[in-house]
C-alpha cells in the first residue's frame, strides 16, 4: 500500500511519473460530467460561433499574465 508520506518523499520526476500512471488508469467512461458544465461549454461555443467572443493564443495569455505581476 502507498502512503501519502511515501509519495511526498519522491523526487519531482517520480511524482510526475506517478501522476501520469494514475491519470492513464482513469476510464473516461466512468467520469460523469455535471450538466451545468455541459451547459456552460455549449453556451461558450455558441457565443464563439456568433462572434460574441474571441480566442487568445497561449502567447497572448502568457503576456497578459506576466505583465500584470
Q: What is the pLDDT of residues 10-61, one digit of tens each?
A: 999 999 999 999 999 999 999 999 999 999 999 999 999 999 999 999 999 9
Three-state secondary structure call for residue 8: helix
How far is residue 43 from each of residues 33, 36, 38, 52, 56, measured CA to CA in Å? Answer: 15, 10, 9, 11, 18
Q: Is-contact 7 18, C-beta < 8 A?
A: yes
What is residue 16's predicted lDDT score, i.e. its pLDDT?
Answer: 97
What is residue 68's predicted lDDT score, i.e. its pLDDT?
Answer: 82
Cell numbers that stand for 68 in this block = 500584470
* Residue 32 backbone phi and psi in degrees, to 5: -105, 125
- Whether the full predicted model's pTM is greater than 0.75, yes or no, is no
Amino acid at each position: 500500500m502507498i502512503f501519502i508520506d511515501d509519495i511526498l518523499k519522491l523526487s519531482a520526476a517520480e511524482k510526475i511519473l506517478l501522476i501520469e500512471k494514475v491519470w492513464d488508469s482513469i476510464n473516461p467512461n466512468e467520469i460523469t460530467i455535471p450538466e451545468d458544465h455541459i451547459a456552460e461549454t455549449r453556451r461558450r461555443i455558441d457565443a464563439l460561433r456568433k462572434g460574441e467572443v474571441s480566442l487568445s493564443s497561449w502567447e497572448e495569455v502568457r503576456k497578459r499574465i506576466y505583465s500584470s505581476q
